[in-house]
Amino acid sequence: MGQQLTMTPQLQQAIRLLQLSTLDLQQEIQEALESNPMLERQEDGDDFDNSDPMADNAENKPAAEAQDNSFQESTASADNLEDGEWSERIPNELPVDTAWEDIYQTSASSLPSNDDDEWDFTTRTSAGESLQSHLLWQLNLAPMSDTDRLIAVTLIDSINGQGYLEDTLEEICAGFDPELDIELDEVEAVLHRIQQFEPAGVGARNLGECLLLQLRQLPVDTPWMTEAKRLVTDFIDLLGSRDYSQLMRRMKIKEDELRQVIELVQSLNPRPGSQIESSEPEYVVPDVIVRKDSDRWLVELNQEAIPRLRVNPQYAGFVRRADTSADNTFMRNQLQEARWFIKSLQSRNETLMKVATQIVEHQRGFLDHGDEAMKPLVLHDIAEAVGMHESTISRVTTQKYMHTPRGIYELKYFFSSHVSTSEGGECSSTAIRAIIKKLVAAENQKKPLSDSKIAGLLEAQGIQVARRTVAKYRESLGIAPSSERKRLM
């Protein structure tokens, strides 16, 4: 004899709903409404009663009670998905053995209801424009011979997402049919025309040329224009290494003048292609809303994100107890699937609420004071508090977002490792990152803080962090090393 967990279709559905994001869940609900006639959306103002849709039918009341008892016995919550209780509480006589994967397919987008007046179809459904399509659109407006247009299309295909020409002109010229007799100077002439397109600096072969193209499109009376052109043309390597003393000596200018020249160069875009957004817009809908009321933090589900469902009482009343016809069997199966779907949604919401409440309880300091007050938190802590398995907590916190007065955060953001303090306590890695960011923001830009110096400052605050750990945290924040943060003041 032995025990094992059977992955029934209902259990698979409950697990899948648990880990879906809000947008994916909305699409799942919409497909469920379209495929199951027993399900209907609960409209505002209706009396939400999801007890027994067949209670008003005297002939079918025993069957309805039997189904309710069977359903109540099998409503295991998501916090027991991993401990085998599902297999013990789900009745074996369930008439449903549907391939749920064929009915409920997830999707990355969702469409709102037709009565949503604020919905913008173009914004929600249009794909971003690629750099190539943007350049081809400008090319179609430019008068050009057929040969030059062919060269231009080839050049545009060789421009990467950052706006730089990846292939050399010799390689591009060698790729044309010899019968066309295209010379290298023709390719270069067409490239110069493409370099006049928007965004400024596109089609450059290196960083210096990219910055020079942008400088040429500025007004001629721009201060320090001549010095800036010379800087990006002849001394771009010295600028990259921040050898300011060598730059002042080579260009024969003073420190204040060099600072103004560098400010002009830094106002340019080294990656002009990034201005064209090629990816589709992504939208974040918060699952949980946290607000403060009379010194108490309140946690509530975002009711606008998840529509309420119920079983259609009229259709459910058509089910006959002893009828074994194909139509009655179909309706009985659809009724059972509708009830399981609603129960899975309720279980998902209850589990999400439990986890979010515990996270807020643990991270009150963050909500009151910010990142520096973030406490160490791991999945095991929340799993113990709510009596669930760690894998369930992982599913709940994936692609779920919390709206707080400080912004919208993914639930996983509140989980972080810890380091020891000199007093024997613990400090969250998120709090350490916030302190590092604060220290770098307040540093002397002429003498930026090194990783060792930052580690020393943290140790002075009682936080024991190695230099390599500081470097790892600094890189995760996108902060450059001290040699690259040096500025002229």
Asked whether the predicted pLDDT for residue 202 surpasses 80, the reply is yes
Print the domain residue range for 457: 418-485
Rounded mean pLDDT, 128-155: 86
* Pairing relationship of beta strands 39-41 and 309-311 according to DSSP bridges: antiparallel
Q: What is the pLDDT of residue 59?
A: 41
In a domain, 236, yes or no: no
- Contact between 146 and 293 under an 8 Å Cβ cutoff? The reply is no
Q: What is the pLDDT of residue 251?
A: 87
What's the total number of domains in the chain?
1
In a domain, 188, yes or no: no
Share of the chain above pLDDT 90, in %: 4
Minimum mean pLDDT range among 127-136, 262-271, 276-285, 374-383: 276-285
With cut-offs at 50, 70 and 90, classify the pLDDT of residue 6.
Answer: low
Q: What is the pLDDT of residue 64?
A: 41
CA distance 272 to 207: 11
In a domain, 134, yes or no: no
- Contact between 29 and 288 under an 8 Å Cβ cutoff? The reply is no
In a domain, 455, yes or no: yes
CATH of the domain at 458: 1.10.10.60
Q: What is the pLDDT of residue 44?
A: 60
Residue 71 CB burial class (10 angstroms; 0-12, 13-18, ≥19): middle
Q: What is the pLDDT of residue 128?
A: 54
Q: What is the pLDDT of residue 281?
A: 66
Indicate the pTM of the whole model: 0.57
Instruction: Using alpha carbons only, give the angle 416, 420, 426 rounded to the nearest 5 degrees.
Output: 55
Q: pLDDT for 370-415, tens place per residue?
A: 888 888 888 888 888 888 888 888 888 888 899 999 889 888 888 8
User: 248-286: string of b/e by CB count within 10 Å (b at 16+)?
Assistant: eeebebeeeebeebbebbeebbbebbeebeeeeeeeebb
Asked whether the predicted pLDDT for residue 93 surpasses 50, the reply is no
Q: What is the pLDDT of residue 425?
A: 63
- Contact between 308 and 33 under an 8 Å Cβ cutoff? The reply is no
Q: Which range scores top for mean pLDDT: 91-100, 101-110, 428-437? A: 428-437
Reading the block at residue 326, the tokens are 């194909």
Q: 268 in helix, strand or coil?
A: coil
Q: What's the Cα-to-Cα distance from 125 to each of 119, 121, 273, 430, rounded to whole Å? A: 11, 6, 23, 36
CA distance 451 to 428: 19
In a domain, 444, yes or no: yes
Q: What is the pLDDT of residue 403?
A: 92
- Helix, strand, coil percent values for the chain (each to nearest 5): 50, 10, 40
Mean pLDDT of the chain: 77
Minimum mean pLDDT range among 5-9, 215-219, 266-270, 432-436: 5-9
CA distance 157 to 82: 52
Q: 367 in helix, strand or coil?
A: helix
DSSP string, 132-183: HHHHHHHHHTS---HHHHHHHHHHHHTB-TTSBB-S-HHHHHHTS-GGG---
Rounded mean pLDDT, 77-96: 42
Q: pLDDT for 298-344, tens place per residue?
A: 888 888 877 788 888 888 888 777 677 888 888 888 888 888 888 88
Q: What is the pLDDT of residue 54?
A: 42
Rounded mean pLDDT, 464-488: 81
Share of the chain above pLDDT 70, in %: 77
What residues form DSSP beta bridges with 426?
420
Q: What is the pLDDT of residue 338?
A: 87
CA distance 489 to 239: 15
Rounded mean pLDDT, 103-130: 46
- Contact between 215 and 268 under an 8 Å Cβ cutoff? The reply is yes
With cut-offs at 50, 70 and 90, classify the pLDDT of residue 56.
Answer: very low
CA distance 260 to 251: 13
Rounded mean pLDDT, 215-243: 87
Asked whether the predicted pLDDT for residue 96 surpasses 80, the reply is no
Q: What is the pLDDT of residue 422?
A: 59
Residue 207 CB burial class (10 angstroms; 0-12, 13-18, ≥19): middle
The count of other CB atoms within 10 Å of the CB of residue 169 is 18
In a domain, 339, yes or no: no
In a domain, 148, yes or no: no
